[in-house]
Amino acid sequence: MASPPARSPQLVQIQMHLFDFYPKEGEEDSVGWLPSSSGSFRTGQTWHWLRSEQDRKIWYKLFWFSQAIPKHNFISWLAILNRLSTRTRQRKWTPAILDTCILCNNNSETNEHLLFKCSYAGRVWQQLSNMLAIPFTDSWSG
């Protein structure tokens, strides 16, 4: 099979290496998925090949269960990983953004402030803890 002419020295090198993969005269060409032991593509095997294994978090069952609401799962998961799109995080990418809390206008809008330290969030948590008769803490780390 003739290849189109290479337009740069780098492409010439790549074409030279590709010749090693052309089937030899009389050989049949085949396609295989290298991460799979059988050579066929499997979504599950590819997922395990792509991701990095990490220790299972002890809190995962609080959010990932069969009847959970996906939107709530996702936001809770982002909060635990400190990845909510708070104004403080947004300001890292766009310095012109004010990082003042949108609810109280008093402090920087961080994960901990937005969820626990903010006066508005504190009132919500306090009422919720009263309704559920459970103790309330304003500390993110426990």
Please identify which residue in the block is written with the tokens 């099979």: 1
Distance in Å, CB of 112 to Zn ion, minimum: 11
Judged by beta carbon, residue 33 or residue 99, the one nearer Zn ion is: 99
- R_g of the chain, CA atoms, integer Å: 27
CB 103 within 8 A of CB 120: yes
Q: Which stretch binds Zn ion (CB under 5 A): 46-54, 72-80, 89-97, 115-123?
A: 115-123
Query: How big is the site for Zn ion, counted in residues (CB under 5 A)?
Result: 4
Contacts 24+ apart (CB under 8 A), 86-91: 86/110, 86/111, 86/114
Taking CB under 5 A as the criterion, the residue among 68, 79, 97, 104 binding Zn ion is 104
- Interface positions with Zn ion (CB under 5 A): 101, 103-104, 118
